[in-house]
Structure 1
Amino acid sequence: MRKWFVVIVSLLTLGVYAQDNDPFVSVNKVLKLMGTRFEITVVAANEEIGYININEAVAEIERIEKLISSWNINSETSEINRFAGMRPVKVSQELFDLIKRAINIAKITDGAFDITYASMDKIWKFDGSMKVFPSEERIKNSIAKVGFEKVVLNESELTVYLPEKGMKIGFGAIGKGYAADKTKKLLISKGVKAGLINAGGDLTSWGTKETGEKWLVGITNPLDKDKVFSWLPIVESSVATSGNYEKFVHFKGKKYTHIINPRTGYPTTGVKSVTIFAKDAELCDALATAVYVMGVDAGLHFINQLDGVEVLVVDDENEIHKSSGVVLDKSTNFKK
C-alpha cells in the first residue's frame, strides 16, 4: 500500500524575492525528510525570520518521524511491532490518538485504508522481475495478519497491542499528511501568516502568497507525469494524490499496479490516480489511498457522502471522474 505521489505544486515563489516596498517576502526550501521530498514555503516579514520558521518546521517533522517511523528501531511504532503477540505497549498520547484516528478511517472505508497493511507478505514485485502470477493460496496467506479490527487499544492505559506475532502497523499512507498538518499548526502558533507545506505530494496551505494570490496545485497529466492537466486554487485546505504511472505488472493483458488492496492481497486495477481535497492533509493522505483501492464507482459514492471532502479520479482509460465540488475546465482531457 505504499503510495507514489504525483502532485505538482505551483509555488511561483521558488527562492526568496521581494521588492523594497513589499511588506512580506516568501521563503522556500526543499529538502529530504521522512524519506521523501519536502518543500516548505513561508510568508514572513523578512528573509531571516522566514528561515528561522523553516528550521522550526524541519525540527517538527524530524520529531514526528522519530515517533512514527517503523524504520527507526527506537520509535514507539517499532516497539509496538516488536512486541506483537507478546504484550501491550504504552505509547504517548500523540501516537495513541493518531492510531485511533487511523483505525476510525479504516472502519469507514471498510478496510480499504488499513495501517496493518505493513503485516502483508511481500509477494508482488514491480521491478520487472516478476514472471509468474502468485497462486490464490499465496495471496490469501499474504494478508493473514492484516486487519485493523485486531488492534487492541486501551484508552485509560494508553497502550496498543497487536495480538498476533508478525503483525505490524505502518504510517506510509497517513504519516506525511500528519506531519504536514502538525507542522502547519506549529507555524501558525509561531505567528506565520501564510505558507504551504508539500510533504512528498501531501500538501497543506494557509493564508495566501505574499502577493495576495491564492496558492495553486497542479494535477499531473497521466499521459505525461512531467505535465499538468489542471491547476486548482487551494485556500486554507489540503490536497493529496495517490497515483501510479510507472510501477506495475501485466498478466494476461491486465495491468496490476503496486498499490495492494489490504483486504484481498491483490493489486488494484482500473485507476491511475486519485486526488483528494479536504481541510486536513492527514485525512487527504488516508482517503487518497482508500479511494484508489475502492475503485472509481465505490470511491466516488463514498466521497460524495462526506462533508468537506472532494475527489478527482483518473481511470485506466484516462477518463476523469470527480465529485460534485470539483470544477475543471470543460476542455480538460487526455485523449488528444
Structure 2
Amino acid sequence: MHSQNKLKKAFTILAFLAVGFLFGQQPYKRTLKLMGSRFDITVVAKDSLEANGYIDLAVNEISRIERLISSWDENSQTSEINRNAGIEPVKVDAELYNLIQRAIGISNLTDGAFDISYASMDKIWKFDGSMKEMPSKESIQNSVSKVGFHNIVLDKENSTVFLKLDGMKIGFGAIGKGYAADRAKDLLISKGVVSGIINASGDMNTWGRQPDGKEWKVAITNPMDKNKVFALLPITDGAVVTSGNYEKYVNFNNVRYTHIIDPRTGYPATGIISVTVFAPKAELADALATSVFVMGKEVGLNRIEQLPKVECIIIDDKGNITKSKNIQIERP
C-alpha cells in the first residue's frame, strides 16, 4: 500500500510538471505558400526564437517533399516516372516508392474512386464559367482512357515504378499535401515540440493540446454559407480534411457537377457538396475525402465505417448532414 501511494505521488508530480511545462509556453503561427497552397504552421514553444526554428524545420521538410513528388518540377522523380511512361521502369527513393504503394492500396480500398493516375486525364471539364454545354459522351470516355492504377507496375526488389501506357501520368494532388503535413508533424514531434497544428489549405493535422490544456478545435464550414461554421470538433492527435464543391461546379440539365471527377468514368461527382474525414494521418484523410465524393453518400459512408479510427461528415446537395456513427458534433 505504501509503495502504491509513492507511485501515485510520483505520477501526480509528473502530471503537474507536464501541465506546468505547457503553461510556460504559447502558440506561434506562420502563414506561407508551399506546394502551391496556403500553409498555416502553428507550434507551441517558449519564445518566438524557438518557435521560428521549429517552423523553419517544418518548411524545409515540406519543401523537400514537394521536390520529390511534384509533377510540375521536371527534375522531380515523379516527372521522371511520367516521362518514361510506356518506355521503361524508373528507380526511385524508398520514400516515393512507399507513398505510391500506399496510394495503390487506397485505390484498391475505394474500388478506384481514388487513383493517382488521374493525372493522365484529359482536362475537358472547365469550372471557370467558360463551359456552355456538356462534353460529348465519347470525349468523356476518351478523357480517362489512360487512367487506371492497375497499369502502375511496382518492383519492390529494385525500387522501380513503371507506367505501362504511353502518355500515362501520376500526380499527388489528392494526397500530397496531407503526406507533407504528416511528415512535418512527425519531424517536429521528434524534435520535442509538444503541441501544434499544420493546416495545409484545410488539411488539418494536430498533436498535443493548447497551452491551457484544452483540446484544439476544428471548425467545419457550412457549405451553404462558407462564412459560417456549423460544427466545432475537438481533435488532439490526428488529422481532419474537408473537401468541398461549393466553389467549383457547373450546372447542366438541373444537375450540379463538381470539380471532383470520377477517375473511372470521367464524369464529375454529383449529390454531395462537402465531405469531412477524420483519420490518424492526413495522407489517408486527404485521399478518403476525395474518394467519398466519388463513391457517393451510401457507399462512401459504408466504406468509412469499416476503417478503424476513421470517421466522416457528409453534406449532400439538399443540405442534409450524414455522419459516421462515432462522431459527436458540437455546435458553435
Settle same-fold status: TM greater than 0.5: yes
Amino acid at match of 2:30: K
Task: Give the secondary structure class of the aligned counterpart of 1:54.
Answer: helix
Q: CA-to-partner distance for each residue in 1:166-188, whole Å, 9 max, x for gaps?
A: 10000000000000000000001
Task: Give the secondary structure class of the aligned counterpart of 2:41.
Answer: strand
2:95 corresponding residue in structure 1: 94
Question: Is 2:111 the partner of 1:103?
Answer: no
Question: What TM-score results when the alignment is normalised by the length of structure 2?
Answer: 0.92
Task: Give the secondary structure class of the aligned counterpart of 2:55.
Answer: helix
Q: CA-to-partner distance for each residue in 1:234-260, whole Å, 9 max, x for gaps?
A: 011110011111211111111111110
Distance 2:133 2:207 in 1: 48
Distance 2:265 2:202 in 1: 27
Amino acid at match of 1:199: A
Task: Give the secondary structure class of the aligned counterpart of 2:182.
Answer: helix
Contact 1:91–1:158 (Cα < 8 Å) also in 2: yes
Displacement after TM superposition at 1:132 (Å): 1.9
Distance 1:80 1:295 in 2: 32
Contact 1:25–1:47 (Cα < 8 Å) also in 2: no
Instruction: Map residues 181-200 of structure 1 onto 2, 5 A cutoff.
Output: 181-200=182-201
1:241 corresponding residue in structure 2: 242
Displacement after TM superposition at 1:22 (Å): 4.6
Q: CA-to-partner distance for each residue in 1:173-212, whole Å, 9 max, x for gaps?
A: 0000000000000001111111110011111111111121
Task: Give the secondary structure class of the aligned counterpart of 1:30.
Answer: strand
Mean Cα displacement is larger for which, 271-280 or 124-133? 124-133
Question: Is 2:243 the partner of 1:252?
Answer: no
Distance 2:82 2:227 in 1: 38
Distance 1:132 1:98 in 2: 38
Instruction: Map residues 65-144 of structure 1 onto 2, 5 A cutoff.
Output: 65-144=66-145
Amino acid at match of 2:257: Y
Q: CA-to-partner distance for each residue in 1:5-53, whole Å, 9 max, x for gaps?
A: xxxxxxxxxxxxxxxx951121110111000010000011222101100
Contact 1:119–1:166 (Cα < 8 Å) also in 2: yes
Q: 1:22 to 1:328 in 2, by over 3 A?
A: closer
1:30 corresponding residue in structure 2: 31
Higher relative contact order (CA 8 A, sep 6+): 1
Distance 2:99 2:28 in 1: 30
Tell me the number of residue pairs that the alignment of Structure 1 and Structure 2 aligns: 311
Amino acid at match of 1:149: H
Q: CA-to-partner distance for each residue in 1:50-109, whole Å, 9 max, x for gaps?
A: 110001110000000000000111000010001111110000000000000000000010
Question: Is 2:316 the partner of 1:320?
Answer: no
Distance 1:251 1:225 in 2: 23
Identity of aligned residues (%): 59
Task: Give the secondary structure class of the aligned counterpart of 1:291.
Answer: helix
Q: CA-to-partner distance for each residue in 1:205-234, whole Å, 9 max, x for gaps?
A: 111111211111000111111211111000
2:302 corresponding residue in structure 1: 301
- Higher-Rg structure is 2
Displacement after TM superposition at 1:325 (Å): 1.0
2:44 corresponding residue in structure 1: 43
Distance 2:27 2:132 in 1: 50
Amino acid at match of 2:204: L
Amino acid at match of 1:223: M
Q: CA-to-partner distance for each residue in 1:136-162, whole Å, 9 max, x for gaps?
A: 111111000000011000000000000
Question: Is 2:277 the partner of 1:276?
Answer: yes
Distance 2:308 2:282 in 1: 15
Contact 1:61–1:179 (Cα < 8 Å) also in 2: yes
1:13 corresponding residue in structure 2: none
Task: Give the secondary structure class of the aligned counterpart of 2:154.
Answer: strand
Q: Which runs of 5+ in 1 are unaligned?
A: 1-20
Task: Give the secondary structure class of the aligned counterpart of 2:172.
Answer: coil
Q: Which has the higher helix share?
A: 2
